[in-house]
Amino acid sequence: MQEERSSFPPTAEATVEDLQQGSPIPEEDVVSNPSEASTEPQLKKPPIFYVSEENLSRTYPDNHRTPHLSRSTSLDHPPARSPIFRIGIPPPEYASKPTLISYYSQDSQEEGDLATPSVLFPSMRLLVAALLSCCFIALSISSSNMAVALICMTSCPIHGYGGELEWESDQEGLVLAAQNAGSLLMVVTGMWADRINGKWMVGMALVLCTLANAMLPLLAANSFWYAVAARLMIGMADACLMPAVNSLITRWFPQKERAAAIGIITGGRQIGTLFILPTAGYLCTRKDIKGGWPAIFYLSSIISLIVGIFWLPMGADKPSKQYCISRKERLFIESRIACESIGKRTEARRVPWNNLLKSSPLWAAIFALVCHEYPLVIMLQFLPNYMRDVLEFAPAKNGIISAMPILFLFLSKTIASSVSSWLETHTTWGKTKICKVFNGVASAGLALCTFIVPFCDKDRAVLAIAALSMSMFFAGLHTPGVITAMVQLAPPFSGIITGISFFIVAWFGIGNKILTKWIVQHGSQQEWAVVFYVSGIVAALPIIDSCCTMSGDLKNPSTSGSQDSPRFRCLEFFCGIGGFHIALKRICKRIDVVGAFDINTTTNAIYSYNFPTTELHQRNIQSLSAKFLDEKNADIWTLSPPCQPFVKKGLQLDLGDARCDALKCICDRIRVLNKPPRFIMVENVVGFRDSDAEQMLLEALEARSYHHEWYEINPLDYGIPNSRPRYYLLAKLTPDAVLSGKYLERWGSQFPQQIKDILCTDAAESEELLISVDTILKHRDVIDLVEPRSFRSSCFTKSYGTYIKGTGSYLVSNVPASHETLEFEKAHFLQIAAGEDKLEAVQRLGIRAFSVPEMCSLMGFEKDLRQPPNIMQHQMYKALGNSVNIFVVCHMLTRFTAGMSDSESSSAGDVGEGRLASVSVIRDTGTKVQLTLKAEGLRKRKSFFAALVSTFKKPSEPSKLCSNARFTEFTLTDRSLKFTINVLNLRGNKKKKGNERREEVFKCNIKQFPSRVNPDSATFEIMEPASGNCFILMNLIKVDNIMTNWKEFQSMNGTIDASTV
Long-range contacts of 198-201 (CB under 8 A, 24+ apart): 198/244, 198/245, 198/247, 198/248, 198/251, 198/317, 199/311, 199/312, 199/315, 199/316, 199/317, 199/321, 201/240, 201/241, 201/243, 201/244
Rg (CA), the chain: 35
Are 569 and 622 a contacting pair, CB within 8 Å?
no
**Cα(871)–Cα(773) distance, rounded to whole angstroms?**
28
Phi and psi angles of residue 860, each rounded to the nearest 5 degrees, phi first: 90, 0
DSSP string over 953-1018: TS--PPPSSEEEEEEEEEEE-SSEEEEEEEEEEE-S-TTS-HHHHHHHHHHHHHTTHHHHS-TTTE
Q: Note the Cα 357 to chain centre separation in Å.
A: 21
Phi and psi angles of residue 830, each rounded to the nearest 5 degrees, phi first: -65, 135
**Cα(100)–Cα(87) distance, rounded to whole angstroms?**
19
First to last CA, the chain: 62
Give the list of residues 6+ apart from residue 281 with CB closer than 8 angstroms, or none. Answer: 148, 384, 395, 396, 397, 398, 399, 400, 402
**Cα(949)–Cα(1061) distance, rounded to whole angstroms?**
8
Give the list of residues 6+ apart from residue 883 with CB closer than 8 angstroms, or none. Answer: 576, 577, 579, 859, 861
Q: Give the number of other CB atoms < 10 A from CB of residue 1021.
A: 14
Establish how many alpha carbons lie within 13 A of residue 799's alpha carbon, considering only the half-sphere containing its beta carbon. Answer: 18
Report the DSSP beta bridge partners of residue 376: none
- Tell whether the torsion through CA atoms of 472, 477, 482 and 483 is positive or negative: positive
Are 468 and 387 a contacting pair, CB within 8 Å?
no
DSSP string over 660-720: GHHHHHHHHHHHH-SS--SEEEEEE-GGGTTSHHHHHHHHHHHHTT-EEEEEEE-GGGGT-
Helix (H, G, I), strand (E, B) or coil at 773: helix
- The one-letter amino acid code at 494 reads S
Report the DSSP beta bridge partners of residue 983: 965
**Cis preceding linkage at 352, omega within 30:** no
**Cα(991)–Cα(1004) distance, rounded to whole angstroms?**
19
**Cα(1012)–Cα(1015) distance, rounded to whole angstroms?**
9
**Cα(755)–Cα(774) distance, rounded to whole angstroms?**
25
Give the list of residues 6+ apart from residue 217 with CB closer than 8 angstroms, or none. Answer: 290, 291, 293, 294, 297, 298
Are 567 and 587 a contacting pair, CB within 8 Å?
no
- Nearest one of 712, 736, 733, 734 to 724, comparing CA atoms: 712
449, 643, 665, 1030: the active-site residue: 643
- Nearest one of 936, 916, 932, 1005 to 965, comparing CA atoms: 1005
Q: Give the number of other CB atoms < 10 A from CB of residue 107.
A: 10
Does residue 324 have an active-site annotation?
no
C-alpha distances (whole Å) from 473 to each of 137, 270, 277, 369, 477 are 19, 12, 18, 16, 7
- Nearest one of 633, 612, 635 to 355, comparing CA atoms: 612
Active site members: 643
